[in-house]
Amino acid sequence: MPDPLNWKTRLEVTAGGKVVTAIDSFTPTFATQITPIHSIEADNIGAIFHPQTATFSMTLKAIGPTVAELTKFAIDGTKFDISVAEKKGTDWTFKKMLFRDCLVTSANPSNVVIDGAPAATFSGIILGFTGEHDLEPTEPSQP
């Protein structure tokens, strides 16, 4: 049985083809607002679908310049991507794009701690989360 703690992939923030930082914790939230349509004759005869929205919260270690760089992204309105990197030997290499055109909407750094690195939590929106080009290709079925 493989070691469950032997991770070979990680999430990264990338901008302009450059890795900005690895992500310690990532929580995406997707929502599709649907309003039921009622008539005089019957209830729930249809629905109005509103645009989908996707938001996220990510936490990373507040060491080095990465928190300042992401805070600058928030102030400047700079878009970035969230991708999966795979460990190859001692290096991390790009494997797959997950979310494109992300924007930071808020930043929340933690207090300095005695035991370990401080953390910073960023929240934001994902503008490019419906692209078909980001889906894993499916293998054709064999007859």
What average pLDDT does the chain have?
80
pLDDT reported for residue 17: 80
Bridge partner list, 104: 124
Question: Nearest 5°: CA angle at 54, between 50 and 60?
Answer: 165
> What's phi and psi for 66, nearest 5 deg?
-65, -40
Residues 6+ apart with CB under 8 A from 107: 67, 70, 71, 74, 120, 121, 122, 123
Domain boundaries, given as residue ranges, for the chain: 9-33+47-126
CATH class entry, domain 9-33+47-126? mainly beta
**Lowest mean per-residue pLDDT among 11-15, 102-106, 115-119, 128-132:** 128-132
Residues 24-62: pLDDT tens digits? 888 888 888 889 999 888 888 899 988 888 899 999 888
User: 0.75 cut: is pTM over it?
Assistant: no
Q: Is pLDDT at 122 greater than 90 in this prediction?
A: yes
Question: Which residue, 32, 78, 24, 23, is CA-closest to 52?
Answer: 32
Average pLDDT of the segment spanning 83-97: 68
